Amino acid sequence: MLTVQLPDGSSRPFETAVTCREVAEAIGPGLAKAAIAAEIDGVQRDLTYELPATGEVKLRFLTKRDAEALAIMRHSCAHVMAQAVMRLYKDVQLAFGPTTSTGFYYDMLLPQPLTEDDFPKIEAEMKAIVKEDLAFERMDKPRAESLQLCEELGQRFKVEHVETGLGEEAELSFYRQGEFIDLCRGVHIPSTSHIGKAFKLLNVAGAYWKGDASRDQLQRLYATAFFDKAELDAHLKQVEEAKKRDHRVLGKQLELFTIDNKVGSGLILWLPKGAVIRQTLEAMIREELRSRGYEVVYTPHVGRVELYETSGHFPYYRESQFPVLCEHNAGQLVDILVERLKAGEITDDEEAKLLDAARLLGFDGEVDPKKPPAERAAALDVWAHKHERYLLKPMNCPHHIMIYKSKPRSYRDLPVRLAEFGTVYRYEQSGELGGMTRVRGFTQDDAHLFCTPEQVADEFRACLEMTQAVLKSLGMNNYRVRLGFRDPDSSKYVGNEELWDRAESELRSVCESMDLPGLSIEPGEAAFYGPKADFVVTDCIGREWQLGTVQLDYNLPSEGRFALEYIGADNKPHRPVMIHRAPLGSLERFVGVIIEHFAGAFPLWLAPVQARVLTVSEKSEEYGREVEAKLRAAGLRVEGDYRGSKLGAKIREGQLELVPYLVVVGEQDRDNGTVALRDRIEGDLGSCSLADAIARLTEEVDDKRVRQVAEAPAADLSAKAVGNEY
């Protein structure tokens, strides 16, 4: 007999094997109609999933009211979108179609490019498929049959993925709705009719097969879906508002930054006004560092590969790193060969060709072709380590660790707090770059603390408080704190379980003692070396951005990594604990976010130009320049407009350029020593003495006052992406 435990505490016995749908029907027709998926002992399943014949299971049905249901429906809608495209166009090759936090996309190869003009007919076909009420049928097949099915379907990307990416899988699953069949992990809704009418295609962009720029260029079709039309309308309104606030557009209009292909994609050129914002943020952080006992350091932009091998950043971040810089001409070829051998992604013929090419460039190592791939890779590694190899710095922490190790440390020296505005580099795929928020070179307001185990709680708490203070100074008070813990089933984390448990317990204890807003634990979100607390900020139109972070690390100081030490009060060596922290995160990303958050209308203390002097006529230019000089002497960033243009036109320009204060001067002001202030927020403030105007502005700057903040409700987390793709 099977006993099904339900969320309300009740249980249901079943004497024969049943599916989740049959349990729902036994409970009542209302639930059977509303349920779209099930959760069995914490694992999501289709309603067609057959429960074990005996024992006990915990079962929860997911309906439209449950947060997890939206991602399931969206993934099903991605399949419907792909089906619609295949009905309308010939020779479509499917890649991947996962959900995102705001919708979903599908990467496809088509003979012709899609444009937004194609969206109406694709959406019309999707509506027809929804109306057909096609059931989602799961098919589990052994590996050989899965490969055969993909070949019969003529889907070469799926064939390759089964052969390589899923090479360890003994059994794979497919889903069918009508004539459409797709390789998919699932879960899916019962039938297409559960999607409803609240979906919308958004845009189309370029992508590469498996993110490799040397492979096929695909078309990525973006869309979103909701259970309710009103929710879709609200989302589309938010999308339109986001377009108005796009930092890439505002950055150009306000002359804050630029990106030039001659310099390189994803590499930011800070223009003078943007540099002012960056310098002002850096100055704020530096003052916090000074008051909190940090020491500022500087480290190089490159480091030897062995440094990052010790830390684990190489090869952990390999796919998002720039290529290795090798002393030997054959170094990069050998490096590529080692990587592909370890991944099992090279044929004997390809290996022989690469080795021949390497020998032409002077490779003189010994590689026995009869040895297993792992041993051949090891032999190549031995040769590589005889030659200097460098990486563009992917992280600052290994460099700060070496500064800590540069001299003996006593417990009396701890905590050691090392800080740096350190620039690091990641080779993001071109299709993933986005203005300042996704770049290839970025500067972190980074710091690493080395402390005794007894100091961990106080130091971690202080780092959290510093991040809160920084966000408060920008009026960004609408945030939640996400605790990123490891996923016990994942192999990406380094270090032993005992240290992880200890770090997670300490981090959780500190955070819960502070009553942080929206505190939640998310397994799988930890850094590879330790758990972390991320500050996830909701901007004024309801979008979430992960900004500041504080991370606890017992692993990099360990014997297997850098073997850090300090001499304790007992005169014996002890192991310090590391804390990684960055209140802003990346300066590029942070500035991109606040451009959109404030729509370019920065608070006075942060604005590139804080005031502009406007003359009524050319007769008052001399006094205007005197006013400008006195404002500048008071520490304000000011400029003047002394053109002979009409005053109304000058005011209009100042408003369009989002200057916080316009200081209007005429002949009467010259005679009286006054100015007429115009506030970007409150409008015309009338006439006042120049001294009073300076006092008003400097007080607002000194207080870091943020007078205009539009806060959205907390972001809806129901759309979180799930692991529905192989």
What's the burial of 477, exposed, middle or buried (CB within 10 Å: 0-12/13-18/19+)?
A: middle
Q: For residue 450, give the H/E element and its range.
A: strand 441-451
What's the burial of 370, exposed, middle or buried (CB within 10 Å: 0-12/13-18/19+)?
A: exposed
CA proximity to 718, closest of 73, 35, 236, 44:
73
Strand 638-641 and strand 611-615: the pairing is parallel
What Rg, from alpha-carbon coordinates, does the chain have?
30
Active site residue 580: yes
Report CA dihedral (487, 492, 493, 495) to the nearest 10 degrees: 130
Choosing from 46, 107, 182, 446, the catalytic residue is: 446
The Cα–Cα gap between 532 and 493 comes to 13
Choosing from 194, 389, 417, 580, the catalytic residue is: 580
Rounded to the nearest 10 degrees, the angle between the axes of helix 690-702 and helix 621-633 is 30
Rounded to the nearest 10 degrees, the angle between the axes of helix 331-343 and helix 348-360 is 160
Q: Rounded to whole angstroms, what are the CA distances from 312 to 253, 448, 498, 551? A: 42, 17, 19, 16
The Cα–Cα gap between 355 and 511 comes to 53
Active site residue 444: yes
Contact 77, 122 (CB under 8 A): no
The Cα–Cα gap between 237 and 608 comes to 30
CA proximity to 225, closest of 201, 254, 247, 249:
201
Return the ∠ at Cα 214 (arms to 724 and 108), rounded to 5°. Answer: 40
Strand 389-392 and strand 441-451: the pairing is unpaired
Contact 451, 461 (CB under 8 A): no
Q: For residue 306, give the H/E element and its range.
A: helix 305-311
Phi and psi angles of residue 239, each rounded to the nearest 5 degrees, phi first: -60, -40
Active site residue 574: no
CA proximity to 657, closest of 697, 709, 588, 608:
608
One DSSP character per residue, 489-516 reads: T-S---S-HHHHHHHHHHHHHHHHHTT-
Q: Rounded to whole angstroms, what are the CA distances from 656 to 257, 294, 404? A: 18, 41, 50
- Residues for the chain: how many in total? 726
Active site residue 448: yes
Choosing from 44, 83, 444, 455, the catalytic residue is: 444
Active site residue 426: yes
Choosing from 21, 74, 426, 440, the catalytic residue is: 426
Q: Find residue 91's DSSP bridge partners.
A: none
Choosing from 326, 397, 463, 511, the catalytic residue is: 397
Q: How far is CA 206 from the centre of its chain?
A: 19
The Cα–Cα gap between 374 and 381 comes to 10
Contact 334, 360 (CB under 8 A): no
Choosing from 79, 532, 581, 589, the catalytic residue is: 532
Choosing from 210, 448, 482, 561, the catalytic residue is: 448
One DSSP character per residue, 116-150 reads: GGGHHHHHHHHHHHHHHT-B-EEEEEEHHHHHHHH
* Active site residues per annotation: 397, 426, 444, 446, 448, 532, 580
